Amino acid sequence: MEEFFEEEKQWNIMQLQKKSLLCILKLNASKAQANGHSVSFDKQLIWKVLIYDSYAKEVISPLIKIDKVHNYNITLFLDLESKREKIHNVAAIYLIKPCKESIGCVVRDLNNKLYDRIFVNFLSPCSDKLLEYFANECRRSNSQNTIAQVFSHYLNYSTITSRLFTLNIPDAYASFYRCHQLSENVDSYIDAVAEGLFMFLKTNTLYPFIRFHKHDIVAQKVATGLRKLYERAMREEDKIPELTLSKRPLLLLLNRSIDVHTMLHHPWKYISLVHDVFGIRGGRVEVEKKVYPCTCLLYTSPSPRDLSTSRMPSSACKKKKKKK
């Protein structure tokens, strides 16, 4: 029992997802070797550039720090949809969502011959139809030799802290329970939730027992989708994990309607206030100049009554002295 609580204390979902991301930055060397493939590349490809779409940006923002990533020879971070120039003798690492729009941008780069070798990484498993589309487009542009790797990962979720993550599905709760009826459009949200939970559990190598209330239709559909994803993954990998009962966690799927007031309460802290007013996404706050044209200085102190130890910018202190 003590060993179980010790493992629980050391478990950090942010570190586990970061480990998977660092594997991508190392050109998936460990995965390729595990699958019995060689990982010998051109020795001139020492430097790398990381190219990501808007979906991948939400995933990597809380995980990557520029000063740490330089240790892996990553020199540039580039947006997939931005206009980019040709760069030779570098390894271009793509981290994208498996969708036709993002794959189309990669094909456009291949046609323009922006990079000598590219390494394509999908945030989640890519369908056969999209892979076939990608292969046909590469064949048309005669650029299949430029592609060094194509890997699928289980990273389509964002970790906020060491114990908290989000699936980045906006307005999911309102879409589930709008007018207290489940429409056909909700099925796409349910599939996204099941897929996102599967990505998280797969990355953390968790195979839980799934439990839900028998009268909760949404939780039942999510659990069914989750089980199907596990069954398909086991068939594709052709192996069943050997797990004891003590090693399998319990996944509870609960209806948020039974505890609505918790979503409306938060600690009385500045970070909660900033999130309410501006919205925090991926650890970032974006403020439009047209809406908020002026700059507001925020002064804080260890205690609201302790004015002598308030932390104020030196420029503000000087202005205050001048007025006196």
pLDDT tens digits, one per residue of 57-104? 989 888 887 767 777 889 889 999 999 999 988 999 999 999 999 999
Q: What is the pLDDT of residue 294?
A: 52
Q: What angle is formed at CA 45 by the lines to CA 40 and CA 46, rounded to 5 degrees?
A: 105
Give the model's confidence band at 310: pLDDT under 50 very low, under 70 low, under 90 confident, else very high.
very low
Asked if 96 contacts 52 with a C-beta cutoff of 8 angstroms, the reply is: yes
Decide if pLDDT at 188 tops 90: no
pLDDT tens digits, one per residue of 125-141? 999 999 999 999 999 98
Q: What is the pLDDT of residue 178?
A: 65
Decide if pLDDT at 293 tops 60: no
Decide if pLDDT at 184 tops 70: no
CA–CA separation, 185 and 278 (whole Å): 28
Across 240-268, average pLDDT: 72
Give the model's confidence band at 201: pLDDT under 50 very low, under 70 low, under 90 confident, else very high.
very high
